[in-house]
Amino acid sequence: MKMRTGGLMLLVLFSILAISSSQEILREFLPEDLKFSHLPNDTVLNIGVIVDEEWTSHHGLQTQDIQQLVKTTIERADEKYLALGTAKLNFRTNIKLEEDYGSDLDILVSLLDCSKSHSLSRRMEDKPLVHIAITNVDCKRITRKNGILLPYIEGQHAVVQILTDLRHSNTIKWKSYIVLNDDSIDPSLSKLVYDSLSQDAAVTSYSLENMQGNARRSEFLEDIFMKMPANDLGNRFLVICKQSLVMDVMKAAETHHLFKHKTQWVFLVTDTHSLNFDMSRFVSLGKDGYNVGFVFNASLQQASEDCSRGLTCLIEESLTQSIELYEEALEEELDVFEEVALEEWEIIMPSREERTMSVIHKIIDSKRTTGGKCNSCTKWMMEAIEIKESERVNQLEVGSWSVDLGLQFKDDLLPHVTGGFRGRTIPVGSLHYPPWMIFNRNSRGQVSEYSGLIFALLDEIAKKLNFTYVVKEPRDGKWGDSDSGAWNGLIRQVIDKEVVLSAAALSVSKERLAVVNFSETIDMQPYTFIYRRPTELSRYLLFIDPFTPMVWLYIAAMTLLIGPIFWIIHRYSYYYTFHDQINKYGLFQLQNCMWYCYGALLQQGGNILPMADSGRILIGFWWLFVMVVVTTYSGNLVAFLTFPQIEYPLNDLSQLLEKGKEDGITWGLLKDSVIESYFRDSEEPKFQEVGAHAQKHEEPGTDPNGELMQKIKYEDHVYIEFKSKLEMMMKEQYNITRQCDYALGSEEFFHERVALAFPKDSPWIEHFNIEIKRILQAGLTEKFKQDHWPSEDECSVSARGGTGTTAVVSVLDMQGSFYILFFGITVALLILLFELVMRKKVVSRDPSIIKPYTP
């Protein structure tokens, strides 16, 4: 604060302030710019009042009467409450405001229609003032921090404002309404309701008037609901009626299955009051999946002297309360002001914005605790049907509504729409079935964790629908089959409603669909079979596999024949006769020609080339033949070494049946599973025969030392099951033994839809379907497979035969080449031995043989 006088003058002033209790004395000594200061001990409270003459006259008040009322109210409040300052009024009827209007105001009270009130609120948003907007019903509450909206309620019009507040608070996010109302609201009010709702939604109205007698009511409601296209109209019901009609509407709606997961109901009960507003008999009709909320009148049954209402009451209360609470805020500031020096106060003093927010909070708190004077007898309560457990219905207290404060929520009006299961713990049925459902057990054999694709999916849905779950295994450990006449296993659990759903990879079948409902398809899974992998044959002859025996025979024949052919052409060529070059050495010897051609086959060639063109042409084409043969052989050998071809004896069910007849191979499948019924009911003879001779096994698990796995490994038994389950069994076996003992059939049959099972009348299946669709669209199931499906290894990639994975060439793969080398060395040594023996015989027979000279 800038002071025009010096420090001495300031000291004198505050000395006078300290010894004087008179505000008038202080004002005489203060400089001109401090006479209307905002110090807490002497504040000028500037109050503005804006009146729209057209709007106020429509509600029966003239401008001069309002002006006189405002002036009288401020003077009375100033005298009674404002001890630390004075109030100054700025009254105007011209609503065309200056650009800086409101900058010097502390309190602004406006009497305008809804659109003008919000327009003014936007202009005043950045001004440090308290804005109290008095306006008509069906007006959205002001959400700006410095504004409060007070709707002027006439007669039963509170219903309109309640609906407006529900719509704009996003409590009812409806794009369409099916409105049913009885004679508790008159036609003019019914039109106001329609106009309010139709601003941003489609509205279809049904009148429930003139229903006399219970029989007549039931018939009338039956007729309405029977003809009503509820799905086409959006399944959003707003019922405005007396409490005597609520029960009839609920029973008729239940008869026509209108309390489904898609439907939402809000009942506005108009004729209840503070002594009779019990909704428990209606709440008790609720069932799992109901989305029903009640908004009911809890106003005083009979108006008393304290139940003031009207436009003049709102004006008086708004001005009086704001002045009183402004003074209260000043007194709180004064307590601090008197304890510090002026210089310190200039640092810590609250800004005008902070003072405004303090007053706003005090006004709201006062209305919340005392209810105010006007409309204090008007109050509505809100409750909802909440299902704590599948059979236990809870009467949920949602909140309240008052004219001044609007909606005060403790919870959601439609709790299961916004909160799903609302933290319920639901029972689900399941079995250990890797990789779909995995029960991880601790050292004591107790289940410590559930994992697998199904539980990963369930965990994701649980986050969205707000529930936790406990797993209940079926007592008989079965999946669910009706071969004995009654369903067992997981399907029995669902039928008896022991569980909310079956969290298992259940196959969808016609028989099961007759007794339970299935969710959206999670995945498509084929069946195949597992059997003992044939013992791997020795690879010592791998080097001859690139060519068939016939090709090797032709190559050997050509190698043997090309030498003599070459010798004949070379020996009898006229070229050598003409040049007199024929001798007994080099290529003129048959064995040299044969060794020459053999060396060319090994890509070694020789140092001597024939001189005649005939011999050269023959050798050239022999080299071309050798290049083709060697290149083909090398390429095929590399392929055989790095991508070995694997052929297994069982690839499809037809071969399985043949092996069963010829070699006595047996096969089996899971007992009481859907595959059993598929084989039994199939029209194809092959499947019928497989099913007829199949052994029935209990759940085998994935233990490689289990009875079934040992039977497969040592007794030529074949097991038919989901492909994913068989892959998991192979993976577990490989992880333990590091050996590939099993193979899979290449034929895949009976591609099954895998889904979750729900009771026939479950209200939650559609909620799960929505979340499953989102999960599938996001590709999360593929991620779950990556997390829980067995990773590929050397066994899985070659499990069905065909081309294996890239392999590192080992000594076993190269042993054939070593055998050839050892064979060559052995033959060479034998020939060497033969040469030595022959030399000894020759020397012993003729010892006079001349030896070559060696220096």
Concatenating the DSSP letter of every residue in 496-548 gives TTSSSEEEEEEEP-HHHHTTSEE-S--EEEEEEEEEEPPPPPP-TTGGGTTS-
Cβ neighbours of residue 518 under 8 Å, at least 6 residues apart?
506, 508, 512, 753, 755, 756, 757, 758
The kind and range of the H/E element at 268 are strand 264-269
Across 10-19, 187-196, 207-216, which has the greatest mean pLDDT? 187-196
pLDDT score of 23: 43
pLDDT per residue over 449-488, tens digit each?
A: 999 999 999 999 999 999 999 999 999 888 888 877 789 9
DSSP state at residue 68: H
Residue 536, amino acid = E
Average pLDDT over residues 271-289: 91
Measuring CA to CA, how many Å separate 320 from each of 71, 77, 83, 305?
11, 6, 14, 19
Q: Residue 209: which pLDDT band, with cuts at 50, 70 and 90? A: confident
Average pLDDT over all residues of the chain: 84
Across 4-13, 506-515, 744-753, 809-818, which has the greatest mean pLDDT? 506-515
pLDDT score of 848: 58
Cα 827 versus chain centre, distance: 74
Task: Compare 809 and 419 and report the one with higher pLDDT.
Answer: 419
Buried b (16+ CB within 10 A) or exposed e, 312-331: bebbbbbbbbbbbbbbebbe
R_g of the chain computed on alpha carbons: 49
pLDDT score of 108: 95
Q: Residue 309: which pLDDT band, with cuts at 50, 70 and 90? A: confident
pLDDT score of 850: 53
CA 140, CA 247: separation in Å to the nearest integer?
32
Residue 36 has pLDDT above 80, yes or no: no
CA 530, CA 719: separation in Å to the nearest integer?
5
Task: Compare 556 and 1 and report the one with higher pLDDT.
Answer: 556
Task: Compare 846 and 30 and report the one with higher pLDDT.
Answer: 846
Give the rounded percent of residues in the chain with a pLDDT score beyond 90: 42
pLDDT score of 539: 63
pLDDT score of 134: 95
Average pLDDT over residues 48-76: 93
pLDDT per residue over 579-588, tens digit each?
A: 777 777 777 7
pLDDT score of 24: 45
pLDDT per residue over 163-182, tens digit each?
A: 999 999 888 889 999 999 99
Q: Is 391 exposed, middle or buried (0-12, 13-18, 19+ CB in 10 A)?
A: exposed
pLDDT per residue over 692-729, tens digit each?
A: 888 888 877 667 677 888 888 888 899 998 888 888 88
pLDDT score of 495: 95
Mapping DSSP onto H, E and C, the string for 717-758 reads EEEEEEHHHHHHHHHHHHHHHCCCCEEECCCCEEEEEEEEEE
CA 835, CA 356: separation in Å to the nearest integer?
123
Query: Token match 């250990």: residue?
Result: 432
Residue 34 has pLDDT above 50, yes or no: no
Cα 152 versus chain centre, distance: 46
Pair 269, 246: CB distance under 8 Å:
yes
Pair 262, 344: CB distance under 8 Å:
no
Q: Residue 428: which pLDDT band, with cuts at 50, 70 and 90? A: very high
Average pLDDT over residues 363-374: 84
Q: Residue 20: which pLDDT band, with cuts at 50, 70 and 90? A: very low
Pair 205, 144: CB distance under 8 Å:
no
Task: Compare 107 and 563 and report the one with higher pLDDT.
Answer: 107
Average pLDDT over residues 391-396: 88
pLDDT score of 25: 43
DSSP H helical ranges for 738-810: 765-778, 780-788
> Backbone phi, then psi, for 86, in 5-degree steps?
-145, 155
Concatenating the DSSP letter of every residue in 617-645 gives HHHHHHHHHHHHHHHHHHHHHHHHHHS-E
pLDDT score of 342: 83
Average pLDDT over residues 90-95: 90
| Six-digit token string for 603 | 């890509």
pLDDT score of 837: 81
pLDDT per residue over 757-805, tens digit each?
A: 999 989 899 999 999 999 999 999 999 999 988 887 777 766 665 445 5
pTM of the model: 0.73
pLDDT score of 678: 83
pLDDT per residue over 578-633, tens digit each?
A: 777 777 777 777 777 877 777 777 777 666 777 777 877 877 787 788 888 888 88
CA 412, CA 170: separation in Å to the nearest integer?
10
Average pLDDT over residues 684-691: 88
Number of residues assigned to the chain = 855
